Amino acid sequence: MKRIIVIGGGPGGYVAAIRAAQMGGEVHLVEKEHLGGTCLNVGCIPTKALLHTADLYQAILQGGSIGLKIENIQLDWQVLQRKKQAVVTRLVKGVDSLLKANKVTIHKGHAVVVDAKTVEIEGKPLMADSIILALGSEPVKLGFPGADLPGILDSTGALSLAQPPASMIIIGGGVIGVEFAGLFSALGCRVTVVEMLPQILPIMDKEIAGDVKQELSKNGVSFLNEAGVTEVRQVEEGLTAKILCGAKEREIAAQYVLVAVGRRPRIQACGLEEAGIRTERGRIIVNEHFVTSVPGIYAIGDCNGQIMLAHAASAQGIAAVEHAMGHQPAYYPGTIPSCIYTNPEAASVGLTEEQLREQDTEYKVGRFQLAGNGKALIENGGRGMVKILSGARYGEILGVHIFGPRATDMIAEAALGIRLEATLDELISTIHAHPTVSEAFGEAALDAGNRAIHWPPRI
Amino acid sequence: MTINVHMPQLGLTMTEGKIVRWLKAQGDKVAAGEELLEIETDKITAQIEAPGQGVLLKILAGIGDTKPVQAVLAVIGKPGEQIKDLPALSDQSVDSLQATALVDSPPAAERVIEGGRIFISPAAKKLAKEMNIDYTLLTGSGPGGRIVECDIQEFAARKSQVKTSPLAAKIAAEKSLDLEGIAKESRIMKADVLEVLNSKPVEFKGALELEGTPLAGMRKIIAERMNMSWRTSPHVNMTMEVDMTAACELKNRLTRAANSKYSFTEIIVKSAAQALMEYKEVNRSLINDTVYQHETANVGVAVALDNGLIVPVVKDAQTKSLGTLHNEIANLGEKARKGSLSPEEISGGTFTVTNLGMYGVDHFTPIINPPESAILGVCRVVKKTVVIDDESVIRPMMNLCLSFDHRLIDGALAARFMQKLRQLLEEPYLLMY
């Protein structure tokens, strides 16, 4: 029986451990804090729990037009925070049960890699046939003057505020910053997003990014692009930040400043250097099978810095242990969707138009505005769109970008389409239920040939 | 199972062989390796050995018969064994079988020739129909490539396992790639198809395995007409250099006056039309040994298109003013590029002008546009030093390249025609004459 040691119990580590156990390995998992890692404890799950309430809150506040007359709706923050914690605790317990059910031995404590075959857990050595590093990541800190003041938050801190914030400056217009902007603005907070690049969500499809920004602006979020915070000072009423916007400098006051400029692998003090595991710019270098510079040691998930998404970590974890157990792994990064839990949601899989143009790939665009979709009209007044990018010659799906209700679920159809090398024909000939938002999928595919049924023909 | 005796391939160029004599008779016992018959080709004579042991159940080719390589000449098997899937006896000369006692062999059972080259046994055909399999895609394992039952069954089993992604199927269909050849347990994806396409060995059978498109549309028509013209009219080429000073002046003045950019084309078309009226013999067609004299100059102006060319015709060019010609040529040119010329507009020409001057060409040999007898190639206008009245001067010079059909037009006539043309271009006021 092969012994596999997995260091890290987040979505990368615990999934790898379960898969390794399924394949007959003797699996040990080491976790120094909480099972479930960042995702379950201070990432995906708590943010979505808060967002769910925030969305409902907003829906009810605006519910007059759909016949909901509720006077005096209030947000009970403490109840929400407790509920959030309850969901987290339940899931963490769930991971624990799953690991135990698969006969994975869980070690609590800090692990240090000694060499390709040895890990020290709290000082005690344990031999292994393969080692999987699932060390995760931590928020990047900035070093401007005042960066250590109380009131300067990272994502973890932002999730556990004692009270809903009245005003906040969010540094970073990426996915995390944008989601927090949506969350807090929905709860009545005055939000300003400060982003260094010319546009927010820089790696997203530009059209969708623009739509997201527009929605947030409608809800009172201010955006400063090509801007950066140079200094934060403590004043009586809270904080005030100096922001350099191009050549101009301005000062904005806020209760909190949230630093959401990205995450970096958390690989310190694990013995990597001593064991000969090579890193580059803080990320562990791996080959296509996620093997590090030391054969037998794998690095998956956030700690190799490739794709900082929980589902990517899980898929990589599975691929790594399958390889370690001598199987042919199946890992298709081209099918990894990205989701943004704004309101409406945004989701995408595959390539953007910008990427296709860079590659000089000839492509066709098929679009469908959700104003033409009955279900979307009911759910949110028809705000949103589905965009499908397909190869010009064969019509194969190259990228799908959705903005609208249920985008994060609908993207699964697109990911499967890319996985199976489906072309527009297959999307069109697969019948979508009515009334659903997913119908927009088939219509967008039809639009690529300018023959959508539920939208007038383009001239 | 019976064993077939095939006409062997003795040498790379052998395609058939003639039966000289049989060394064994039908019904005889044969041992593996024993000599059965003698054949001859245009190069050699050879003995054919029995591929296995048994009884020579049936001889299928007689003395003097010529059979193609791989044809079944005889069948060996156990005494009384049923011969299945024999090739048709109708193309075997049964009459000339060597006259010895014929063993009571079972009737040449099911042998069917299906349209063309596909040989399939009725049993296999029935099974294929039941399983809804297009057997034309198969090569059989039976005698002579005949499709037999087990081929159908094997294909059915394989077919249910071969899965392709929609994209892979589309690429394979476009490149006419047989996906059966890809041995893969899981779904065939684009990468697999591309790998096969890129690794296909280049067979040097005299041609590279390139992706070809059938000659079609405009290209096909041009190809046919050019070929026909070249084959039919003995082309002679004649070049003359023209001093375009006066023509340049005319062009510029007209451009200013009309506030529209004139080109040399209209001036050349008018000059050619006028020259044709004077030298009528150049304005003729020879069709089926009959000479037709045209009374008017319908001058075609060749227009280059993306993938070919088309020649709209200016009718009665000699009657039209330069202004009219300018507009008409521009209009026809645009229609040509849009593909909206009417049949009327591209027929009835008696002479063609083709201008490659804008590409900097100094000389070329255009092909006559049948049933016309001559075509004028126009080259670029370039300033040159020429000698006039024993002095070196710089003049804008242009080559005219006439190709003419020597069946109708002799050199001297062509030269006089060209002289006239040159005169008109160098003294354009004569166009008003």
Size of interface A-B (CB pairs under 8 A): 26
> Per residue in B23-77, pLDDT tens?
888 888 888 888 889 888 876 778 888 888 888 888 888 888 888 888 888 888 8
In this prediction, residue B197 carries a pLDDT of: 80
Q: Does A332 touch chain B (CB under 8 A)?
A: no
pLDDT of residue A33: 95
Better-predicted residue by pLDDT, B332 or B174: B332
The two three-digit tokens of residue A81, written as one number: 């925070």
CB A32 within 8 A of CB A111: yes
- Split at pLDDT 50, 70, 90, the class of A36 is very high
Choose the catalytic residue: A401, A432, A434, A454: A434
Nearest to B282 by CA among B143, B392, B410: B410
Q: What is the pLDDT of residue A329?
A: 87
Higher pLDDT, A458 or B302: B302
Taking CB atoms and an 8 Å limit, are B165 and A425 in contact across chains?
no
What is the pTM for the complete model shown? 0.60
Closest CA–CA distance from residue A397 to any residue of chain B (Å) = 9
pLDDT of residue B178: 75
pLDDT, one tens digit per residue, over B66-99 is: 888 888 888 888 887 877 655 544 444 333 333 3
Tens-place pLDDT, residues A210-224 = 999 999 999 999 999
Alpha helices in A259-349 (DSSP H): 272-275, 310-324
Do B265 and B271 form a contact (C-beta atoms < 8 A)?
no
Which pLDDT band, with edges at 50, 70 and 90, does B113 fall under?
Answer: very low
B167–A425 CB contact, under 8 Å:
no
Contact with chain B for residue A379, Cβ under 8 A = no
Contacts of B165 in chain A (CB under 8 A): 420-422
Count how many Cα atoms sit within 13 Å of the Cα of residue A352 in the half-sphere of its side chain. Answer: 15
Q: Looking at the complex, does the CB of residue A425 fall below 8 Å from at least one CB of chain B? A: yes
pLDDT band at A201 (very low <50, low <70, confident <90, very high): very high
Given pLDDT bands bounded at 50, 70 and 90, which one contains residue B109?
Answer: very low
More confident residue, B55 or A314: A314
Q: Which residues of B touch A426 (CB under 8 A)?
A: 166
Residue of A402 and B370 predicted with greater confidence? A402
A76–B contact, CB cutoff 8 A: no
Cα distance between residue A306 and residue A302, in whole Å: 7
Q: What is the pLDDT of residue B92?
A: 40
CA-nearest residue to B191 within chain A is A421
Q: What are phi and psi of A297, to 5 degrees?
A: -115, 125
Share of residues in chain B with pLDDT > 90 (%): 41
Pick from B164, B165, B179 the residue to mutate for testing the A interface (most A CBs within 10 Å).
B165
Residue B208 pLDDT more than 90?
A: no
Residue in chain B closest to A396 (alpha carbons) equals B167
- The mean pLDDT of chain B is 83
Q: What pLDDT score was predicted for residue B99?
A: 35
pLDDT band at residue B351 under the 50/70/90 scheme: very high
Q: Is B326 one of the annotated active-site residues of the chain?
A: no
Residue A239 host element (H or E): strand A238-245
pLDDT over 80 (residue B249): yes
Q: Of the candidates A253, A239, A186, which has an alpha carbon nearest to the alpha carbon of residue A50? A: A186
Residue from A345, A357, A372, A351 nearest A447 by CA? A372
Q: How far is the alpha carbon of B166 from chain A, nearest alpha carbon, in Å?
A: 5
- C-alpha B11/C-alpha B20 separation (Å) is 18
Number of H helices, E strands in chain B: 9, 20
Q: Which residues of A touch B190 (CB under 8 A)?
A: 396, 421
**CA-based nearest residue to A336, from A356, A354, A300, A311:** A311
Rounded to a whole number of angstroms, the distance from the CA of B165 to the nearest CA of chain A is: 6
The alpha carbon of residue B189 is apart from the nearest alpha carbon of chain A, in Å, by 7
Q: Which residues of B155-189 are buried (b: 16+ CB within 10 A; e: fewer)?
A: beeeeeeeebbbbbbbbbeeeebebeebeeeeebb
Q: For residues B29 and B43, give the distance between their C-alpha atoms in angstroms, rounded to a whole number.
A: 31
Report the pLDDT averaged over residues B282-299.
Answer: 93
Confidence of residue B284 (pLDDT cuts 50, 70, 90): very high
The answer to whether the Cβ–Cβ distance between A421 and B165 falls below 8 Å is yes
What percent of chain A has a predicted confidence (pLDDT) above 90? 94
Asked if the Cβ–Cβ distance from A420 to B187 is below 8 Å, we say: yes
Contacts of A425 in chain B (CB under 8 A): 166
Q: Which residue of B has its CA nearest to A426?
A: B166
The C-alpha of A355 sits at a distance from chain B's nearest C-alpha, in angstroms, of 20
Please tell me which residue of chain B has the smallest CA distance to A416.
B165
Shortest distance between the Cα of A363 and any Cα of chain B, in A, equals 15
- Mark yes or no for CB contact A423/B166 under 8 Å: yes
At B197, the amino acid letter reads L
Within 8 A of A394 by CB-CB distance, chain B residues are 167, 170-171, 174
Strand, coil or helix: what is A246? coil
Query: Of B6, B235, B363, B406, which is the active-site residue?
Result: B406
Chain B interface, best mutation among A393, A421, A430, by max B CB count within 10 A: A421
Question: Which residues of B are less than 8 Å from A395 in CB distance?
Answer: 170
Residues A380-433: tens digit of each pLDDT: 999 999 999 999 999 999 999 999 999 999 999 999 999 999 999 999 999 999
Residue A295 Cα, gap to closest chain B Cα (Å): 28
pLDDT at B397 (0 to 100): 96
Please enumerate in sequence order all residues whose Cβ is within 8 A of that of A335, keeping only pairs 6 or more positions apart, or say none.
A349, A350, A415, A416, A418, A419
Confidence of residue B433 (pLDDT cuts 50, 70, 90): confident
A348-380 pLDDT tens trace:
999 999 999 999 999 999 999 999 999 999 999
**A-chain residues near B187 (CB < 8 A):** 420
Which residues between 160 and 219 in chain B have a beta carbon less than 8 angstroms from any beta carbon of chain A?
A: 165-168, 170-171, 174, 187, 189-190
What does the block give as tokens for A422?
């489906």
C-alpha separations of A61 from A182, A186, A190, A219, B212 in Å: 15, 10, 17, 13, 66
